[in-house]
Amino acid sequence: MSVMRLGYVHVRVTDLEEAKSHYGNTMGLLEVANEGNKVFYKGWDEYDHHSVVLEEGGVGLVKLGYKVSESSDLDDIEIKATRFGATVERMAKGDNLSVGDGLRITLPSDHVVEIYHEIEYLGTETGRINPDPWPRFRRGVGAPRIDHALITVEEPALVERFFADVMSFMVSERVIVSNENPEVIGSWMYCAGTPHDIAFIKGPNGKLHHFAFALESWSDVLHAGDIFAMDDVPVDVGPTRHGITRGQTIYYFDPSGNRNEVFTGGYLTFPDFPSITWTADQLAKGIFYISRELNERFTSVLT
Protein backbone atom coordinates (compact mmCIF):
# COMPACT_ATOMS: atom_id res chain seq x y z
CA MET A 1 0.00 0.00 0.00
CA SER A 2 1.48 3.26 -0.89
CA VAL A 3 0.45 6.82 -1.56
CA MET A 4 3.05 8.28 -3.90
CA ARG A 5 2.44 11.99 -3.82
CA LEU A 6 0.12 14.95 -3.80
CA GLY A 7 -1.15 14.72 -7.34
CA TYR A 8 -3.43 17.69 -7.64
CA VAL A 9 -4.73 20.71 -5.80
CA HIS A 10 -8.16 21.95 -6.77
CA VAL A 11 -8.96 25.48 -5.60
CA ARG A 12 -11.60 28.11 -6.15
CA VAL A 13 -10.71 31.48 -7.60
CA THR A 14 -12.88 34.55 -7.78
CA ASP A 15 -11.87 35.55 -11.30
CA LEU A 16 -10.67 32.92 -13.71
CA GLU A 17 -8.95 35.30 -16.13
CA GLU A 18 -6.86 36.87 -13.40
CA ALA A 19 -6.07 33.44 -12.04
CA LYS A 20 -5.01 32.20 -15.48
CA SER A 21 -2.59 35.05 -15.79
CA HIS A 22 -1.13 34.22 -12.38
CA TYR A 23 -0.79 30.46 -12.75
CA GLY A 24 0.07 30.58 -16.45
CA ASN A 25 2.18 33.67 -17.06
CA THR A 26 3.63 34.28 -13.62
CA MET A 27 4.04 30.74 -12.29
CA GLY A 28 4.75 29.37 -15.73
CA LEU A 29 2.39 26.40 -15.54
CA LEU A 30 1.16 24.87 -18.75
CA GLU A 31 -2.59 25.03 -19.39
CA VAL A 32 -3.59 21.51 -20.39
CA ALA A 33 -7.37 21.73 -20.44
CA ASN A 34 -10.19 24.23 -20.10
CA GLU A 35 -13.74 23.27 -19.21
CA GLY A 36 -15.12 26.80 -19.13
CA ASN A 37 -15.42 27.30 -15.40
CA LYS A 38 -12.41 25.08 -14.69
CA VAL A 39 -8.87 25.27 -16.00
CA PHE A 40 -6.27 22.53 -15.60
CA TYR A 41 -2.51 23.09 -15.32
CA LYS A 42 0.68 21.13 -14.92
CA GLY A 43 4.29 22.07 -14.24
CA TRP A 44 6.95 21.43 -16.86
CA ASP A 45 8.44 18.49 -14.93
CA GLU A 46 5.14 16.73 -14.22
CA TYR A 47 4.08 13.87 -16.46
CA ASP A 48 0.52 13.36 -15.26
CA HIS A 49 -2.33 15.25 -16.90
CA HIS A 50 -2.62 18.05 -14.37
CA SER A 51 -1.59 19.14 -10.88
CA VAL A 52 -3.57 22.34 -10.39
CA VAL A 53 -7.28 22.84 -11.04
CA LEU A 54 -8.80 26.30 -10.84
CA GLU A 55 -12.56 26.58 -10.48
CA GLU A 56 -14.29 29.91 -10.80
CA GLY A 57 -16.39 31.11 -7.87
CA GLY A 58 -15.18 31.91 -4.37
CA VAL A 59 -11.85 31.06 -2.85
CA GLY A 60 -10.25 28.21 -0.96
CA LEU A 61 -9.67 24.54 -1.29
CA VAL A 62 -12.08 22.28 -3.12
CA LYS A 63 -10.01 19.15 -2.66
CA LEU A 64 -6.61 17.56 -2.72
CA GLY A 65 -5.82 14.53 -4.87
CA TYR A 66 -3.28 11.90 -3.81
CA LYS A 67 -2.07 9.30 -6.26
CA VAL A 68 -1.43 5.71 -5.18
CA SER A 69 0.98 3.33 -6.84
CA GLU A 70 -1.47 0.46 -7.39
CA SER A 71 -5.20 0.04 -7.98
CA SER A 72 -5.44 -2.30 -5.02
CA ASP A 73 -4.34 0.52 -2.76
CA LEU A 74 -7.78 2.05 -3.26
CA ASP A 75 -9.50 -0.92 -1.63
CA ASP A 76 -7.03 -0.93 1.18
CA ILE A 77 -7.48 2.75 1.91
CA GLU A 78 -11.24 2.44 1.66
CA ILE A 79 -11.24 -0.22 4.34
CA LYS A 80 -8.95 1.72 6.62
CA ALA A 81 -10.80 5.00 6.16
CA THR A 82 -14.11 3.36 6.90
CA ARG A 83 -12.69 1.68 9.95
CA PHE A 84 -11.30 5.06 11.04
CA GLY A 85 -14.79 6.49 10.82
CA ALA A 86 -14.19 8.91 7.97
CA THR A 87 -16.79 9.55 5.31
CA VAL A 88 -15.71 7.64 2.21
CA GLU A 89 -17.35 7.39 -1.15
CA ARG A 90 -16.26 5.94 -4.47
CA MET A 91 -15.62 8.48 -7.19
CA ALA A 92 -16.10 7.47 -10.80
CA LYS A 93 -13.77 7.75 -13.72
CA GLY A 94 -14.46 11.10 -15.29
CA ASP A 95 -15.63 12.84 -12.12
CA ASN A 96 -12.34 14.61 -12.57
CA LEU A 97 -11.13 15.19 -16.11
CA SER A 98 -8.62 12.50 -17.12
CA VAL A 99 -8.70 10.84 -13.67
CA GLY A 100 -9.88 7.24 -13.15
CA ASP A 101 -11.94 5.60 -10.43
CA GLY A 102 -11.05 6.36 -6.87
CA LEU A 103 -12.08 7.41 -3.43
CA ARG A 104 -13.41 10.66 -2.06
CA ILE A 105 -12.78 10.97 1.64
CA THR A 106 -13.93 13.70 3.95
CA LEU A 107 -11.36 14.20 6.67
CA PRO A 108 -12.35 14.71 10.30
CA SER A 109 -11.41 18.32 9.54
CA ASP A 110 -13.96 18.55 6.70
CA HIS A 111 -11.31 18.76 3.99
CA VAL A 112 -11.94 16.59 0.96
CA VAL A 113 -9.19 14.27 -0.21
CA GLU A 114 -9.42 12.18 -3.35
CA ILE A 115 -7.37 9.05 -3.89
CA TYR A 116 -6.76 7.76 -7.38
CA HIS A 117 -4.43 5.56 -9.33
CA GLU A 118 -5.21 6.36 -12.93
CA ILE A 119 -4.69 9.67 -14.62
CA GLU A 120 -3.88 10.41 -18.21
CA TYR A 121 -0.16 10.53 -18.96
CA LEU A 122 0.99 13.63 -20.83
CA GLY A 123 4.75 13.59 -20.23
CA THR A 124 7.10 16.34 -19.15
CA GLU A 125 8.13 19.24 -21.35
CA THR A 126 11.64 17.81 -21.71
CA GLY A 127 10.58 14.33 -22.75
CA ARG A 128 12.06 10.89 -22.12
CA ILE A 129 14.68 10.59 -24.86
CA ASN A 130 18.03 12.29 -24.25
CA PRO A 131 16.27 15.06 -22.33
CA ASP A 132 17.61 18.50 -21.49
CA PRO A 133 17.58 19.26 -17.76
CA TRP A 134 14.96 21.96 -18.21
CA PRO A 135 12.90 23.36 -21.09
CA ARG A 136 14.70 26.00 -23.16
CA PHE A 137 11.73 28.38 -22.89
CA ARG A 138 10.25 28.67 -19.44
CA ARG A 139 7.67 31.26 -18.50
CA GLY A 140 7.95 33.47 -15.42
CA VAL A 141 8.75 31.50 -12.28
CA GLY A 142 8.86 28.31 -14.33
CA ALA A 143 7.62 26.07 -11.51
CA PRO A 144 8.45 22.44 -12.30
CA ARG A 145 5.87 20.80 -10.03
CA ILE A 146 3.59 21.12 -7.02
CA ASP A 147 4.96 19.93 -3.71
CA HIS A 148 2.58 19.95 -0.75
CA ALA A 149 -0.36 21.66 0.95
CA LEU A 150 -0.86 22.97 4.46
CA ILE A 151 -4.37 22.97 5.87
CA THR A 152 -5.83 24.10 9.19
CA VAL A 153 -7.65 21.63 11.41
CA GLU A 154 -9.29 21.88 14.82
CA GLU A 155 -7.74 18.63 16.05
CA PRO A 156 -4.24 18.12 14.68
CA ALA A 157 -3.66 14.91 16.63
CA LEU A 158 -6.80 13.39 15.14
CA VAL A 159 -5.93 14.33 11.57
CA GLU A 160 -2.37 13.14 12.08
CA ARG A 161 -3.77 9.79 13.18
CA PHE A 162 -5.95 9.69 10.06
CA PHE A 163 -2.99 10.22 7.75
CA ALA A 164 -0.90 7.71 9.68
CA ASP A 165 -3.51 4.95 9.99
CA VAL A 166 -5.37 5.32 6.72
CA MET A 167 -2.81 6.77 4.35
CA SER A 168 0.35 5.30 5.92
CA PHE A 169 1.93 8.74 6.09
CA MET A 170 4.72 9.33 8.61
CA VAL A 171 5.52 12.37 10.72
CA SER A 172 8.64 14.28 9.75
CA GLU A 173 8.15 17.15 12.19
CA ARG A 174 5.66 17.99 14.87
CA VAL A 175 5.05 21.07 16.98
CA ILE A 176 3.90 20.46 20.53
CA VAL A 177 2.88 22.97 23.16
CA SER A 178 5.82 22.17 25.43
CA ASN A 179 7.73 19.28 26.91
CA GLU A 180 5.19 19.28 29.74
CA ASN A 181 2.16 19.52 27.46
CA PRO A 182 2.69 17.37 24.37
CA GLU A 183 -0.49 18.51 22.65
CA VAL A 184 0.13 18.57 18.92
CA ILE A 185 -0.46 21.97 17.35
CA GLY A 186 1.11 21.24 14.00
CA SER A 187 2.27 18.23 12.07
CA TRP A 188 4.25 17.73 8.87
CA MET A 189 3.78 14.34 7.24
CA TYR A 190 5.30 12.53 4.28
CA CYS A 191 4.55 9.49 2.21
CA ALA A 192 7.63 9.49 0.03
CA GLY A 193 11.07 11.09 0.04
CA THR A 194 10.45 14.78 0.76
CA PRO A 195 9.86 16.50 4.11
CA HIS A 196 6.11 16.79 3.61
CA ASP A 197 3.27 15.80 1.36
CA ILE A 198 0.69 17.26 3.73
CA ALA A 199 0.91 19.47 6.78
CA PHE A 200 -1.66 20.82 9.18
CA ILE A 201 -1.71 23.32 11.96
CA LYS A 202 -4.35 24.00 14.57
CA GLY A 203 -7.05 26.29 13.22
CA PRO A 204 -10.54 26.24 11.78
CA ASN A 205 -11.58 23.07 9.98
CA GLY A 206 -11.85 23.03 6.21
CA LYS A 207 -9.45 25.86 5.51
CA LEU A 208 -6.38 26.12 3.32
CA HIS A 209 -3.30 27.86 4.59
CA HIS A 210 -1.28 27.40 1.40
CA PHE A 211 -0.21 25.00 -1.31
CA ALA A 212 3.32 24.95 -2.62
CA PHE A 213 5.30 24.67 -5.81
CA ALA A 214 8.76 23.10 -5.69
CA LEU A 215 11.67 25.06 -7.13
CA GLU A 216 15.17 23.80 -7.81
CA SER A 217 17.38 26.14 -5.79
CA TRP A 218 17.72 29.15 -3.53
CA SER A 219 18.67 31.12 -6.64
CA ASP A 220 15.35 30.15 -8.17
CA VAL A 221 13.62 31.43 -5.04
CA LEU A 222 15.19 34.85 -5.61
CA HIS A 223 14.23 34.68 -9.27
CA ALA A 224 10.66 33.89 -8.25
CA GLY A 225 10.63 36.83 -5.85
CA ASP A 226 11.78 39.13 -8.63
CA ILE A 227 9.04 37.84 -10.91
CA PHE A 228 6.49 38.46 -8.14
CA ALA A 229 7.62 42.10 -7.95
CA MET A 230 7.51 42.49 -11.73
CA ASP A 231 4.03 40.97 -11.91
CA ASP A 232 2.63 42.72 -8.80
CA VAL A 233 2.03 39.50 -6.89
CA PRO A 234 1.36 40.20 -3.20
CA VAL A 235 4.10 38.62 -1.10
CA ASP A 236 3.35 37.46 2.41
CA VAL A 237 6.78 36.43 3.74
CA GLY A 238 10.19 35.65 2.30
CA PRO A 239 12.57 34.82 0.82
CA THR A 240 13.70 33.06 3.94
CA ARG A 241 14.50 29.67 5.39
CA HIS A 242 12.19 27.41 7.35
CA GLY A 243 13.43 25.76 10.52
CA ILE A 244 10.81 23.07 9.99
CA THR A 245 11.76 21.12 6.84
CA ARG A 246 14.94 23.20 6.50
CA GLY A 247 13.60 24.40 3.14
CA GLN A 248 13.72 27.88 1.59
CA THR A 249 10.57 29.74 0.77
CA ILE A 250 8.45 32.67 -0.32
CA TYR A 251 4.77 32.84 0.61
CA TYR A 252 2.56 34.91 -1.68
CA PHE A 253 -1.05 35.17 -2.79
CA ASP A 254 -2.81 34.39 -6.02
CA PRO A 255 -5.16 37.14 -7.27
CA SER A 256 -8.07 35.59 -5.35
CA GLY A 257 -6.19 35.57 -2.08
CA ASN A 258 -5.27 31.89 -1.94
CA ARG A 259 -1.80 31.64 -0.42
CA ASN A 260 0.85 29.92 -2.53
CA GLU A 261 4.41 29.03 -1.65
CA VAL A 262 7.55 28.46 -3.65
CA PHE A 263 9.66 25.95 -1.79
CA THR A 264 13.06 24.36 -2.29
CA GLY A 265 15.57 22.40 -0.28
CA GLY A 266 14.77 20.25 2.72
CA TYR A 267 16.13 16.84 3.64
CA LEU A 268 15.27 13.39 2.34
CA THR A 269 12.83 11.27 4.29
CA PHE A 270 12.71 7.50 4.61
CA PRO A 271 10.39 5.15 6.52
CA ASP A 272 12.85 5.21 9.43
CA PHE A 273 13.21 8.99 9.54
CA PRO A 274 13.36 10.01 13.20
CA SER A 275 10.61 12.61 13.70
CA ILE A 276 11.69 16.06 14.79
CA THR A 277 9.92 17.89 17.58
CA TRP A 278 9.49 21.64 17.95
CA THR A 279 8.20 23.24 21.10
CA ALA A 280 5.75 26.10 20.72
CA ASP A 281 8.15 28.61 22.27
CA GLN A 282 10.38 28.00 19.23
CA LEU A 283 7.52 27.97 16.72
CA ALA A 284 8.42 31.28 15.11
CA LYS A 285 11.96 30.03 14.56
CA GLY A 286 10.59 26.77 13.23
CA ILE A 287 8.45 28.59 10.67
CA PHE A 288 10.76 31.48 9.75
CA TYR A 289 14.20 30.49 10.85
CA ILE A 290 16.04 33.70 10.00
CA SER A 291 13.68 36.36 11.37
CA ARG A 292 12.18 34.22 14.14
CA GLU A 293 9.03 36.31 13.80
CA LEU A 294 5.49 35.43 12.67
CA ASN A 295 3.47 38.21 11.12
CA GLU A 296 -0.22 38.55 11.88
CA ARG A 297 -1.21 37.96 8.27
CA PHE A 298 0.63 34.69 8.05
CA THR A 299 -1.19 33.22 11.00
CA SER A 300 -4.66 34.61 10.29
CA VAL A 301 -5.29 34.71 6.54
CA LEU A 302 -6.83 31.45 5.35
CA THR A 303 -9.04 30.58 2.40
DSSP 22: I
**Best CA proximity match to 172, nearest among 272, 69, 66, 299:** 272
Least distance (Å) between residue 184 CB and a second copy? 15
DSSP 233: P
Least distance (Å) between residue 288 CB and a second copy? 9
Least distance (Å) between residue 87 CB and a second copy? 28
Q: Which residue lies nearer to a second copy by CB, 85 or 271?
A: 271
Least distance (Å) between residue 204 CB and a second copy? 26
Q: Pairing between strand 60-68 and 3-13?
A: antiparallel
- CA-to-CA dists, residue 301 to 187, 197, 208, 236, angstroms: 19, 21, 9, 10
**Best CA proximity match to 190, nearest among 175, 174, 168:** 168
Orientation angle between helical segments 72-84 and 156-165, nearest 10 degrees: 140
Least distance (Å) between residue 173 CB and a second copy? 9
Q: Which residue lies nearer to a second copy by CB, 229 or 300?
A: 229
Binding site for a second copy (CB under 8 A): 2, 4-5, 45, 47, 67, 69, 121, 123, 128-134, 136, 145, 192-194, 214, 216-219, 222, 225-230, 235, 238-241, 243, 246, 248, 250, 265, 267-272, 274-279, 282, 285-286, 289-292
**Best CA proximity match to 208, nearest among 264, 245, 271, 253:** 253
In the chain, the amino acid numbered 7 is G
**Best CA proximity match to 143, nearest among 247, 264, 273, 230:** 264
In Å, how far from its chain's centre is CA 135?
23
In Å, how far from its chain's centre is CA 100?
21
Catalytic residue positions, numbered: 148, 196, 210, 242, 251, 261
Q: Which residue lies nearer to a second copy by CB, 258 or 269?
A: 269
Residue 33 · residue 53 · CB < 8 Å:
no
Q: Which residue lies nearer to a second copy by CB, 68 or 88?
A: 68
**Best CA proximity match to 8, nearest among 129, 98, 126:** 98
Write the CB contacts of 87 (distance below 8 Å, at least 6 apart in sequence): 105, 106
Least distance (Å) between residue 109 CB and a second copy? 26
- CA-to-CA dists, residue 140 to 168, 217, 228, 230, 231, angstroms: 36, 15, 9, 10, 9
Q: Which residue lies nearer to a second copy by CB, 5 or 20?
A: 5
Give 274: exposed, middle or buried? Use CB within 10 Å, 0-12, 13-18, 19+: exposed
Q: Which residue lies nearer to a second copy by CB, 61 or 287?
A: 287
